[in-house]
């Protein structure tokens, strides 16, 4: 092997823990490895959420793929100051799960937008998400949830995990729309308090109506 | 509820709990978004209620998804890069910089194949779904680079799926590997190049080998066990029944990633590229175990 010239470019690899933010930067740069790593980190939560909302394993798979593709294509639109990567990502999963449930039930369906099932557009990204989820453990949230009055717990559960619109929730629970709205608001405000987060007058605001 | 064309602040606040839980009708949600976009008020209640809502995600029981989900996701993401749907993909309409080695530009003498123009609008052909190698080859139409990108994605998928890389801790190694693959792709895009996917017996080791028409070899591997002492990995080219020809030796660091450049006596498709782990440099015949191997094929298919 006299004529052989082999110049190995060995890359020194000092293992460095990679933050979610760094992985997201990798997504924005088009690195499949970063997508893979982010997926590995949150796949079980994402799939759990999608299954919970859709109640359908196959649909849940589609949703999770769409959600991660949405993050892949929209990673450069993540705004760090507005919350953690984790909740941003899981909010996308939540958002698309709700969409999927609604698409499956054509009753109240409006004409589809041009975007195809696998081309999540800008609207697939969440409007509101919080950093808070990243700092909480499931037990604390479960406890806070258990402390809610049954009617509030049911309302917020149907609203957040049921894929139901407010009028469907009203129909299902047999109460007026205004009551649905105030129950969900009260539930969320109480959760915040129970979890030790501040509640401003804005959020607590018009909780007076129909609080039975 | 009738949705007014424009919502007032108090109406928006009123809808906030349902907006953040995703239980507004689409038209109502759109009206809220429109108000928020144009409103001088920061609407702090949206964030407060939204945070409380996302906290509920913690109560969901995590469930392991089927393995095929990851393969499908990575293939679809790779197809995004290939078809210009990702902001960082070479063909994306925007001016986003392409994260490639400087050498890449030199390799771009060839005009980019037509298949690299963005096809984001034409998603009716099922673009974005799982794209296997066969499917990618099937729709060639002159797009060798498109095929190569798919191959690269497959290399990634194989290795990542199997060894689950220690990526969480070592994105640097992953990036080094990706850079290596990108550079190999540049070589592979040149006429007369042959490529080989190199995989180990248990898929824990994988990589991408390219032999240019002039015999220049680029080998990018990952998942290799670090070498110790005088140990080296030796690369071999095997043509038909002929004896293996040693291409060279290299050691591997703790990240298990290596890019090696060598010269091969053959650039014909059908040759086997193989890696063995040898006790010392300078082997003239393979003695150690075969770590990974693959057969070269014409990159143009």
Quote the pLDDT of residue A124.
41
Q: Is B252 on the interface with A (CB under 8 A)?
A: yes
Over residues B234-261, the pLDDT tens digits come to 899 888 888 888 888 888 888 788 888 8
Looking at the fold, whether B210 and B275 belong to one and the same domain comes out as: yes
Looking at the fold, whether B112 and B222 belong to one and the same domain comes out as: yes
Give me the residue from A45, A73, A91 closest to B85, CB to CB: A73
Task: Report the distance separating Cα B277 and Cα B292, nearest Å.
Answer: 10
Looking at the fold, whether B110 and B32 belong to one and the same domain comes out as: no
Q: Is A94 on the interface with B (CB under 8 A)?
A: yes
Provide the number of structural domains found in chain B. Answer: 2
* Whether the predicted pLDDT of A157 surpasses 60: yes
DSSP annotation of A16: B
Count CB-CB contacts under 10 A for residue B268: 14
Quote the pLDDT of residue B161.
35
Q: Which residues 99-128 of chain A have a CB within 8 Å of chain B?
A: 102, 108, 110, 116, 118-119, 127-128
Task: Report the distance separating Cα B108 and Cα B237, nearest Å.
Answer: 28
* Whether the predicted pLDDT of A150 surpasses 90: yes
* Whether the predicted pLDDT of B125 surpasses 50: no
**SS3 of residue B233 by DSSP:** strand
Q: Is A9 on the interface with B (CB under 8 A)?
A: yes
Beta-ladder partners of B208: B197, B220
Looking at the fold, whether B207 and B108 belong to one and the same domain comes out as: yes
Does residue B4 lie in a domain region? Answer: no
Looking at the fold, whether B52 and B148 belong to one and the same domain comes out as: no
* Whether the predicted pLDDT of B271 surpasses 80: yes
Count CB-CB contacts under 10 A for residue B37: 7
Residues of chain B in contact with residue A197, where contact means CB-CB under 8 angstroms, are 48, 51-52
Q: Is B101 on the interface with A (CB under 8 A)?
A: no
The reply to whether residue A36 touches residue B252, judged by beta carbons under 8 angstroms, is no
Tell me the domains of chain A and their CATH numbers: 19-133 (1.10.1740.10), 136-212 (1.10.10.10)
Over residues B5-54, the pLDDT tens digits come to 689 999 999 999 999 999 998 889 889 988 988 888 888 888 888 888 98
Can you read off the two tokens belonging to residue A171?
């129909």
Task: Report the distance separating Cα B262 and Cα B179, nearest Å.
Answer: 17
Q: Is B60 on the interface with A (CB under 8 A)?
A: yes
Over residues A4-37, the pLDDT tens digits come to 445 444 444 444 568 899 999 999 998 898 999 9
Does residue B97 lie in a domain region? Answer: yes
Task: Report the distance separating Cα B60 and Cα B12, nearest Å.
Answer: 29
Looking at the fold, whether B23 and B82 belong to one and the same domain comes out as: no
Quote the pLDDT of residue B170.
52
CA distances from B168 to A38, A98, B82, B154, B248 (A): 8, 30, 25, 20, 32
Quote the pLDDT of residue A18.
83
Over residues B70-117, the pLDDT tens digits come to 999 999 998 888 888 888 876 665 444 433 333 333 333 332 222 222
- Give chain A's length: 212
Task: Report the distance separating Cα A155 and Cα A178, nearest Å.
Answer: 12
Q: Is B93 on the interface with A (CB under 8 A)?
A: no
Beta-ladder partners of B10: none
Does residue B45 lie in a domain region? Answer: yes
Does residue B239 lie in a domain region? Answer: yes
Q: Which of A15, A1, A11, A5 is nearest to B251 (CA)?
A: A11
- Stretch B262-280: mean pLDDT, rounded? 86
Confidence of residue A154 (pLDDT cuts 50, 70, 90): very high
* Whether the predicted pLDDT of B190 surpasses 90: no
State the DSSP H helix or E strand holding residue A64, giving kind and residue range, or none if neither.
helix A57-74
Quote the pLDDT of residue A16.
52
Looking at the fold, whether B75 and B156 belong to one and the same domain comes out as: yes
Looking at the fold, whether B45 and B111 belong to one and the same domain comes out as: no
Confidence of residue A162 (pLDDT cuts 50, 70, 90): very high
Q: Cα torsion at A30, A36, A37, A40 (round to 10°)?
A: 150
Q: Which domain holds residue B249?
A: 67-298
Residue with tokens 């970063």: A34
Count CB-CB contacts under 10 A for residue A93: 28
Domain stop point among B59, B76, B97: B59
Looking at the fold, whether B55 and B71 belong to one and the same domain comes out as: no
The reply to whether residue A13 touches residue B246, judged by beta carbons under 8 angstroms, is no
Does residue B203 lie in a domain region? Answer: yes
The reply to whether residue B27 touches residue A110, judged by beta carbons under 8 angstroms, is yes
Q: What are phi and psi of A209, to 5 degrees?
A: -70, 135
* Whether the predicted pLDDT of A204 surpasses 50: yes
Does residue B153 lie in a domain region? Answer: yes
Does ipTM top 0.85? Answer: no
Quote the pLDDT of residue B155.
46
């Amino acid at each position: 092997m006299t004529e052989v010239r082999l110049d190995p470019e060995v890359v020194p690899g000092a293992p460095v823990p990679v933050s979610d933010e760094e992985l997201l930067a990798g997504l924005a740069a088009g690195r499949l490895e970063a997508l893979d790593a982010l997926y590995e980190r949150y796949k079980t939560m994402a799939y759990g959420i999608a299954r919970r909302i859709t109640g359908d394993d196959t649909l849940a798979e589609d949703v999770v793929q769409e959600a991660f593709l949405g993050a892949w294509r929209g990673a450069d639109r993540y705004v760090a100051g507005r919350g953690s990567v984790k909740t941003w990502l899981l909010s996308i999963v939540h958002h698309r799960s709700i969409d999927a449930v609604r698409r499956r039930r054509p009753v109240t369906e409006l004409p589809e937008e041009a975007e195809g099932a696998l081309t999540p557009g800008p609207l697939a990204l969440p409007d509101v998400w919080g950093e808070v989820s990243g700092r909480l453990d499931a037990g604390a949230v479960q406890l806070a949830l258990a402390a809610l009055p049954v009617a509030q717990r049911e309302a917020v559960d149907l609203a957040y995990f049921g894929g139901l619109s407010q009028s469907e929730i009203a129909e299902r629970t047999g109460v007026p729309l205004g009551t649905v709205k105030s129950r969900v608001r009260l539930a969320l405000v109480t959760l915040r308090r129970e979890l030790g987060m501040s509640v401003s007058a804005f959020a607590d605001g018009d909780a007076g109506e129909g609080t039975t | 509820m009738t949705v007014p064309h424009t919502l007032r602040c108090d109406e928006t606040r009123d809808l906030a709990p349902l907006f953040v839980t995703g239980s507004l009708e689409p038209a109502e949600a759109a009206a809220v978004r429109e108000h928020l976009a144009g409103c001088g008020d920061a609407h702090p209640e949206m964030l407060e209620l939204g945070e409380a809502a996302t906290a509920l995600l913690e109560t969901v029981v995590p469930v392991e998804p089927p393995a095929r989900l990851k393969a499908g996701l990575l293939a679809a993401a790779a197809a995004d890069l290939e078809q210009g749907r990702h902001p960082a993909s070479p063909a994306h309409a925007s001016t986003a910089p392409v994260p490639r080695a400087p050498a890449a530009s030199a390799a771009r003498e060839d005009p980019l194949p037509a298949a690299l123009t963005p096809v984001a609008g034409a998603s009716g052909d099922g673009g974005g779904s799982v794209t296997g190698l066969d499917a990618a080859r099937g729709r060639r139409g002159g797009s060798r680079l498109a095929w190569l990108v798919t191959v690269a994605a497959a290399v990634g998928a194989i290795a990542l799926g199997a060894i689950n890389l220690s990526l969480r801790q070592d994105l640097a190694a992953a990036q080094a590997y990706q850079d290596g693959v990108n550079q190999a792709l540049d070589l592979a895009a040149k006429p007369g190049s042959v490529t080989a996917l190199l995989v180990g017996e248990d898929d824990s080791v994988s990589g991408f080998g390219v032999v240019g028409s002039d015999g220049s070899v680029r080998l990018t591997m990952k998942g290799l066990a670090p070498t110790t002492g005088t140990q080296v990995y030796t690369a071999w080219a095997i043509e038909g029944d002929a004896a293996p020809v040693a291409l060279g030796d290299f050691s591997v660091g703790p990240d298990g990633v290596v890019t090696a450049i060598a010269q091969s006596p053959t650039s014909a498709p059908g040759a086997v590229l193989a890696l063995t782990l040898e006790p010392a440099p300078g082997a003239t015949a393979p003695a150690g175990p075969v770590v990974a191997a693959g057969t070269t094929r014409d990159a143009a298919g």
